[in-house]
Each structure stands twice: as structure tokens, then as C-alpha cells.
Structure 1
Amino acid sequence: MFKHKKKLVLVFCMIALFFFSGCSSKGENVDKVVSLFANRLFYDTQVDDYKEMFSDSQLYNKRAQEVEEDLQNNFATVFEPISGTLSKSEREDISISLIDKIRDKASYSYTIDETTKNTIKVTYHIKGFDYAHLVGMTMSNLIKNEDKIEPGSVGAKHIVTSAYYDALEKSSSVDKAVDVSAYFKQDNNKKWLVDKTKSKETDIQNLLFAFMTGKKYDDDYEKKMLEEINQITTQDSTK
């Protein structure tokens, strides 16, 4: 009898071990998918792992390039009336320094909402870079030197870029994280990809926007930018 019970206990333990091992493996796989996607998207790391596990690496490259160009154009639109036309290399230097700072300051965490055999729903909690405040600090630095600026001159370009790099050094992330949902699914080859049919928020560009600006929507970002500008002009008018 004792030996029989011992065998039953052993079999039960083996079944339990198998069951929990299976659960752990699935959980680890889900976490790997979710974190790998974010690390590739936000920090440009784990490139080879991403190609092995995901099937939409080309889409990532296209979207990331679009956002980078948007940042360059945004900066140029705001400051070129003062600095004059920035060269391609100057724009690239500004863009590279900005992206490096964003990756240093911004961060994310996530919550797994739903999982099935072939799908994952996740909410990324993104504490993004405060890009509007960077622009605001740059403008504030320029106002301090407005008597020295002759728009379009070589000196003006130097003052603008110096104002920017000084502001960049003091920049930070936003205080409050924003939540952006994402859905992933497996294709017929058992590779993962973003399921954009589920939600507009799943689009890569929206995730990058939150990471790079600290805001979820364009309207929120524009509102923050106007607040920065109004604060600067108000301070200047009281002097």
C-alpha cells in the first residue's frame, strides 16, 4: 500500500511539474515577444532576435524613418526662420543627438491583458521624452540672446544650435506615463507581427510618438507645445 501511494505521489508531482513548466514557458514566451518588440522599436536593440521572432521588420524600419524625418522637419520648421536653412548634416546631427537623449530619458513598462495560443494583447505604459519642453527651453534660451541674433546669419545659426544643445542637456521625460495598447498575432510561419486590424493604437508610429513626445495624441502634444510657448512669451512680457 505504501509503495502504491508513493508511486501515485510521484506521478502527481511529475504531472504538476509538467503543467507548471508549460505555464512558465508560455509566460516567458509572451514576455519575450512583448519586450523584444518594444526594445527593437524604442531602443533599436536585439535586431537579430527580432528578425528571428517577428515577420514585419521592414515595416518597423519604414515607420521609424518616418518619425525621425518628422522630428527633423518639426525642429526645422520652428527654428529655421531664425537660424536660416540648416544643412542636411546639421539636421542629421540634431536628429541623432535627440534620438540618443530620448532613448536615455524615456522608458516603458507593460501589462499583459490577454493571451491565446496565437495572439497577445498588451498595454504599454510609456513615460516618454518631453519634446515640447525641449522646444520651449530652446526658445527661452534664444530669447535671452535675441539682441545678438540677426536672422539667417552664420551667427544666428550658431546661437540657435547652441540654444538647442544646452536645452537638450537639461531635458527629461514627462512626469506621467501614457497607456498605449498593442495587439500581436502569429502568422502561418509561427512568426509574430503587429495586428493592426484590432486598434489604431497598435500602429508603430503611434507607439513611437508616445515614446518620443510623452503624449498619446497629436492634439495633446500640440496643446502642450502651446502651453510652453505661452509660458515663455508671458515670462518675456513681464521683464
Structure 2
Amino acid sequence: MSIILYSLCGAETARPFSPHCWKTVMALRHKGLDFVESPQAFTEIPKVEGGVSKIVPILKDGDTIVSDSFDIALYLEATYPDRPSLFGGEGGMVLSRFVESYGLTMLHMAVTKIAINDIHAMLGPVDQAYFRESREQRLGKPLEDFIATRDAEIAAFPEKFATLRHLLKRQAYLGGESPLFADYILFGALQWLRVTTGSIHLPSGDPVAGWFDRLLDLYDGHARKVA
């Protein structure tokens, strides 16, 4: 039985955009596992697999269902130990948790502020109503208010990658010569930005942009094929 990955999309199923789902897509490709991706609209997710989770990614592997991108990565590592490792050992798991925290605290809110109106435009009418209500409640202001600060957020965005940029001066990936799950965690944030806005908002020649391009080219350019 094929592995099924439930992910997030807007009105176009060919443009899944969740950063957490992209982590899982890259992890599955890294492991060399065959899977079927099933993109879902925001309001359809609670109906998936009997309502097992209100958020994606959701992975179904035979009779096993796992949600949360990091838990899925741990599951894949434990279940398919003969495939390429996502962590390179216990230490890599712990360090990936640090990278996850960095991404959530430093990048995700910035991407939200840059892309929020683009995401709203990608959605169907029912999801637009859900997205507007839930995000305005969470952020405390109308979506339109973020247009006024968008240019400032974009201008400040490259500096958030100063740590990664410093590391990439001496190695190709966070994982060293080849990527690990830690790379896919940060890749997910930039792929989210790329799919929703059409740009990663980093200058040409930036080492982080080069790292992102290398990841886009992996696995027969799977991630790059998403417009």
C-alpha cells in the first residue's frame, strides 16, 4: 500500500504551500520512499482520516497514521532505518529540534507578514472566510493592514538568515556535504514563501539563495516543479 501524505493547498491542488508539509515531502524523498500526496484545503483537513488531526501534514503508512512534521520524520527514521538517515544519529535529532525552534521563532512570523495576503488570494471562497477570521483573531488586525508593512518586512528578511549564511561559507548544507532534516526544516519556510509570493526575497548571489537552489534541484527537481 502506498504511503499517503495529506498536505495543504489553496484553490489549486498543484500548489501545496505549507512549510511543515514541505519538510515532510523532502524527508520522504530523502528516504527514497514512494508516496502519494493528497493536498487538502484548510476546511477539508478536519475530515481527513476520520478527523485524526486539524492540521497537516498527516502521513498514512499502511495502518499507521502520524501527524506533525517532526514526529513524521522520527517515524520515518525508525521505520526505515536501512534508508538514508534524516538525522545522522541522536545528536542530529537534538540539533534539528534547535533548528526547528529557530525557524518557528525567527522565520515563520516574518513569512506570514510578507505572504498573508497572497495566501488569502490563493484560497477558495470558503477557505478565504476561514483564513481571514482565524488569522485576524490570531494576529489582532485585519489582513489588509499587513500590506502597509510588507516592504519593511521584505527589507528586513535577509538579516534573519545571518547565522545560516555564516555557516554556508564553509559547508554546502547544515548536514555538511549533503542535506539532513535540519536543512528541510528551513527549506520549508522558504518554499512556503516562494510558492505563495513567487520569490524568496533574498538578493541574487546570497549564499542562502544558493543553498535553497541546491535543495530545489534535489530529487529530480521535485520542489522546483511547483510553480
TM-score range, shorter chain: under 0.3
TM-score scaled by structure 1?
0.25
Which of structures 1 and 2 has the bigger CA Rg? Answer: 1
- Bigger RCO (CA 8 Å, 6+ sep): 2
TM-score scaled by structure 2?
0.26
| Larger helix share, 1 or 2 | 1
